[in-house]
Amino acid sequence: MLFKVEMTVNIPKDLPTAEADAIKLKEKNYSQELQEAGIWVHLWRVVGQYSNVSIFDVRDNAHLHEVLTGLPLYPFMKMNVVALCQHPSSIK
């Protein structure tokens, strides 16, 4: 199942920089493992914002929930999730 997820990150200003950097590194490693596994299919930066638009290919809603709540930056994110299906005019 495919989902579009927009994630907006808001790290509190009083979080020490070293702590924030450590969480961002964990986030990078976590996302790259999921990309290598073919679960995190697209990851795009939204220009001018600390946001991304991502496409996930997961088994079901529960799997997406597990993936998203496992994000190290999850406590600092707002998310918007949209379920996708095949467009009738798509040639793929």
Ligand X SMILES: O=C(O)CC1=CCC(=O)O1
Q: Report the residue number, 9 or 55, with the smaller CB distance to ligand X.
A: 9
| Token pair listed for 62 | 């529960």
Q: Residue 77 half-sphere exposure, CB side, CA atoms within 13 Å? A: 21
Q: Report the residue number, 79 or 83, with the smaller CB distance to ligand X.
A: 79
Q: Which stretch binds ligand X (CB under 6 A): 10-18, 27-35, 62-70, 83-91?
A: 27-35
| Token pair listed for 50 | 């600390």
Q: Which stretch binds ligand X (CB under 6 A): 10-18, 23-31, 56-64, 81-89?
A: 23-31
Give the three-state DSSP class for 73: coil
